[in-house]
A and B are shown apart, each in its own frame.
Chain A
Amino acid sequence: MSAYKLTLDQARAALAKLMEKYTVIAPVMNDNRLDYAEVTDARDVILDDRLPYKSPKETVFPRVENVIRFLEGRVEEAQDIKPILLIGAKPCDIAALNDLDGIFTSDKGKFKDSFYINRRNCLTVVGAGCTSKKTACFCDERGIDMTFSPECDGFLNFVDGDILYEPLTAKGDGLFTGSEAEPPKRDTKPEETLKIEAKEADVFATMPWESYVEGCIGCGTCTYLCPTCHCFNLRDAEDKGIVTRTRVWDSCMYPKFTLHASGHNPRTEKYQRFRQRVLHKYLYIPENYGFTACSGCGRCIRSCPGGLNIRDTVSDIMERLEEAKE
């Protein structure tokens, strides 16, 4: 497909039109911080090099989702959702969405998650690239090209102050139009260098996990900001005779995450929980699904009050594995 060139003002006008049909989610300033949020005015949308503070996973995997409601004599399942248009998703976030797709919808997963699929089908993703690497970003080490991602429905390129829109799928076709132009040339994808290729037994008990977590205060910030973390809890709540079953985020960094009904808790220590977080992304998901569930956005590193660093941890593990081989 070819690309369309349009000015920033034209793009905003087109966006205002799209807002009639879609719920538009895009980076906007929120309390002095850039966040993916619902757009109420097309002029608020900020498309620049900055990475929004939180990930856009809430669009497909909300913090609280009503799964089912038990009313008198009938049940009510999840409602219809208005089409959602996610604009300005960075390549790391698109890669993370892809990872979530792999977990919630793929044939490799044992279960297909109908609530996720329902939202995902309603979602159109328009990406936008980064021009520079920010502190704590490590998408290149994770094999992600920060300037472009082909795994979305359309892509916004910035050329000399103008926008070059490149539709990539039928869903993304016709969202923005302008004078036709050639799509820009692409660099080759960087190589995925940060990954753990080992058996669980090689890393589970032999790595100095306790030394990695000295600063951990045990909050759930890393998991809540992570674009690929997807653990959830199902809860039934009753209000005035109506029972609502909701799906809410949970976090493996909480001590009670693994508490059994018997009272036994296999992960009582911080290092055990951090080990689970790292290995889930870098060892268990690769084993079960064939890809590493970390997009290198660096959000967990930047926001951690204790200074925990998943990239340093993984590269330290890689070094130790390398040493052990020799």
Chain B
Amino acid sequence: MMDYNKQSQKLKETAAKLLEEGTVEAVLGLKDNPEVGWPTPYFARTAGDVENLVWNEACFTNLANYLLDMRDKKVAIAAKGCDVRSIINLIVENQLKRENIVIIGIECSGMKQNDSLAAGCDACPSSIPNMYDIVVGADGSDTYKDLEMPNSGENVTEWAKNTTVDERFERFKKEIDKCILCYACRQACQGCYCKACFMDRKATPWEQVDPDTSTKMAFHLTRAMHLAGRCTDCGACEKVCPSGVNLKYLFKGLSEFVEEFYDFKAGVDMEAKPFANQYKQDDQQVAFLGGDTIVGV
């Protein structure tokens, strides 16, 4: 079982040691924030700052994004499975350097937001991060316990097979209607690090920024497309959304698709080539008109 106190203790000790030795410039973690209701990002820069770090069942924030601001500095990060998947994805895409990051891999069996399982945790495959330098086990020890995961996530492909086009459109439209186009999902996403997002290029007359239905649809669909084979299912987009838009199922569905047809999963293998940056001559033609193979939805 999880012992957050012991994990916090181990995290603080490790962070203090790293900072005192001068191995890293900062330790990226979370600090308590009762006003928000869950811990928020915090950079510990001195051994004295370390006391502010916390680790509890509400530490669901994906911190990988913050590493991008500190690209050229040596930083340690308190990372769960989803953070590490994101870090791997960013390394694969040449955004981060492995040698600049010290990963304090914290075992995690799912986080809670507002007393229910946080978005993304239901589909998390393992309590052990895919990559780590320092081990913080479930009980704060130096070994991972490999806990049982909730594994209650929706299988989007199955869902799609059992619904009609109209039902799927209804679900999509219902979520789109809530969106206020504040871009919190984009900003929180580890994969959305473009300096100029396609939505920000206000100069092009065909790219509108008014929050009307077609613009919102274009934004979310294109973002989903850009994240195909890059989404690490961390759920950050849903966790930060001020309007409660739940569109992660689109991303999850695409991840399932990419895994099924192209045998690629983001955030697993540091040597892998990104999904959209490679091809095989015998790739399946999914649902092409008159193509060799017509498979799936």
Interface residues of A (CB under 8 A from B): 31-33, 53-54, 63-64, 135-136, 214-215, 217-221, 224-225, 233, 235, 237, 246, 248-249, 251, 254-256, 298, 301-307, 309
Contacts and interface: CB of A to CB of B under 8 A. Distances in A.
26 contacts: A31-B244, A32-B244, A53-B242, A63-B211, A64-B211, A135-B35, A136-B35, A214-B43, A220-B182, A220-B183, A221-B184, A224-B180, A225-B242, A233-B209, A235-B210, A237-B208, A237-B210, A246-B210, A248-B209, A248-B211, A254-B200, A301-B35, A303-B242, A305-B61, A307-B31, A307-B39
A31 B178 contact: yes
Interface string B177-197: 010101110111000000000
A255 B200 contact: yes
B251 interface: no
B1 interface: no
Interface in B53-67: 61, 65-66
B207 to A, nearest CB: 11
A32 B202 CA distance: 35
Contacts of A249: 211
B274 interface: no
Nearest to A138: B35
B40 interface: yes
Contacts, number: 91
B47 interface: no
Given A64-B212, A219-B183, 14 more contacts: A31-B178, A33-B244, A135-B37, A219-B182, A248-B209, A249-B211, A254-B200, A255-B200, A298-B35, A303-B36, A305-B40, A305-B184, A305-B188, A307-B31
Given A221-B240, A235-B209, A256-B200, A302 B37 contact: yes
Contact of A215 (B35, B40, B186, B210): B40
A214 B184 contact: no
A-B residue pairs, 9 tightest by C-beta? A307-B40, A219-B184, A136-B35, A305-B240, A219-B187, A215-B41, A217-B187, A220-B182, A221-B242
A254 B183 contact: yes
- Most B CB within 10 A of own CB, among A31, A218, A305: A305
Interface of B: 31, 33-37, 39-43, 61, 65-66, 178, 180, 182-184, 186-188, 200, 202, 208-212, 239-240, 242, 244
B158 to A, nearest CB: 25
Given A220-B182, A224-B242, A64 B210 contact: yes
Contacts of B209: 233, 235, 248
Contact of B65 (A217, A251, A298, A309): A217
Nearest to A307: B40
A302 B114 CA distance: 13
A304 B187 contact: no
Nearest to A255: B200
A135 B34 contact: yes
Contact of B187 (A214, A218, A225): A218
Contacts of B212: 64
A307 B211 contact: no
A63 to B, nearest CB: 6
B210 A248 contact: yes
A248 B36 CA distance: 28
Contacts of B41: 214-215, 306-307
A256 B36 contact: no
B217 to A, nearest CB: 15
Contacts of B187: 217-219
B42 A215 contact: yes
Contacts of B39: 307
A305 B33 CA distance: 11
B36 A304 contact: yes
A271 to B, nearest CB: 11
A235 B206 CA distance: 12
A235 B208 contact: yes
Contacts of A63: 180, 211
Contacts of B211: 63-64, 248-249
B42 A214 contact: yes
Contacts of B178: 31
A223 B212 CA distance: 19
Contacts of B208: 235, 237
Contacts of A301: 35-36
A305 B182 contact: no
A217 B188 contact: yes
B210 A220 contact: no
A40 to B, nearest CB: 15
Contacts of A225: 242
B240 A219 contact: yes
A214 B63 CA distance: 12
A224 B178 CA distance: 13
Contact of B239 (A219, A305, A306): A305
B35 A309 contact: yes
Contact of A251 (B34, B43, B182, B242): B182
Contacts of B36: 136, 301-304, 307
